[in-house]
Amino acid sequence: MTRLSVNINKIATLRNARGGNIPDVTKAAIDCQRFGAQGITVHPRPDERHIRYNDVRDIKKIVKTEFNIEGYPSKSFNELVLSVLPDQVTLVPDQPGAITSNQGWDTVSRQSFLSDIVAMFQSYGIRTSLFTGTDVRYIEHAAKTGTNRIELYTEPYARDYPKDRELAVEPFVRAAVLAGELGLGLNAGHDLNLDNLKFFNDKVPGLLEVSIGHALISDALYYGLENTIQLYLRQLE
């Protein structure tokens, strides 16, 4: 069964909009685990507009499932990750002001840079994953960095799914097959939801983990967090 990692950034966004500690981000992480999530994902950004660096440290203390930290490998991000030692670090090519992750790495031009970062994190026993598109070149060069996994950027799939789901998933199937041939573990994330997740999971071979935040937290407003996590888990069976 593909693992579900819940990204709790949006809960932090809601808290920060009002100030104080409601909703409690750490309690949300505890509850997501209790309700069946097999991982917790956070993506701290330099401006701390949602998850703050202190949140990451607090969440580390209570996570009993997998802890995944996403982000651009800046000096401050790297220091945070090494101080926390999560199970997995997912490296994304976000610029500081990016609203959300909207592209994968150019692993051709950034291969040397990424190789050094991957090696550093792995030396501390942290599994590494690179956020990539489905371009064959980028997946092949991701493998050359020594990364353990790639995370496929699935916004193009989600965008095209309503028009032609077979055509939308086709490049991701090819990318998954190539990743397997190269010995890369496979994660996926971005805009996966209750409408498109099951089809993606059924079609894409070797999928180990999906990271879902915005859609899942939005659904929880209607269905409740516990029920929503169960709904997503059923799509992954």
pLDDT tens digits for 108-122?
999 999 999 999 999
Distances (CA, A) of 190 to 17, 171, 181: 23, 16, 24
pTM, two decimals, is: 0.95
Task: Please determine, for residue 96, whether its predicted confidence score (pLDDT) is greater than 70.
Answer: no
What is the pLDDT, as a whole number, of residue 46? 87
Considering the domain boundaries, does residue 236 fall inside one?
Answer: no
What is the pLDDT, as a whole number, of residue 103? 75
Domain count, the chain: 1
CATH number at residue 208: 3.20.20.70
Considering the domain boundaries, does residue 171 fall inside one?
Answer: yes
What is the pLDDT, as a whole number, of residue 98? 55
Average pLDDT (159-167) is 98
* Full residue range of the structural domain in which residue 124 is found: 3-231
Considering the domain boundaries, does residue 83 fall inside one?
Answer: yes
Considering the domain boundaries, does residue 237 fall inside one?
Answer: no
Catalytic residue among 50, 66, 141, 190: 190
SS3 for 68?
strand
Q: Among 119, 137, 135, 139, which residue's Cα sits nearest to residue 127?
A: 119
Considering the domain boundaries, does residue 159 fall inside one?
Answer: yes
Residue 126 main-chain phi, psi, to 5 deg = -100, 125
Task: Please determine, for residue 17, whether its predicted confidence score (pLDDT) is greater than 90.
Answer: yes
What is the pLDDT, as a whole number, of residue 125? 98
Catalytic residue status for 237: no
The tokens of 184 are what?
A: 């890369």
- C-alpha angle with apex 18: 14 to 20, nearest 5 degrees? 100
**Which residue, chain included where needed, has tokens 């894409």?**
204
Say how many Å lie between the first and final Cα of the chain, rounded: 6
Considering the domain boundaries, does residue 134 fall inside one?
Answer: yes
Average pLDDT (23-48) is 96
Summary mean pLDDT of the chain: 96
Considering the domain boundaries, does residue 110 fall inside one?
Answer: yes
Catalytic residue among 66, 70, 151, 209: 70
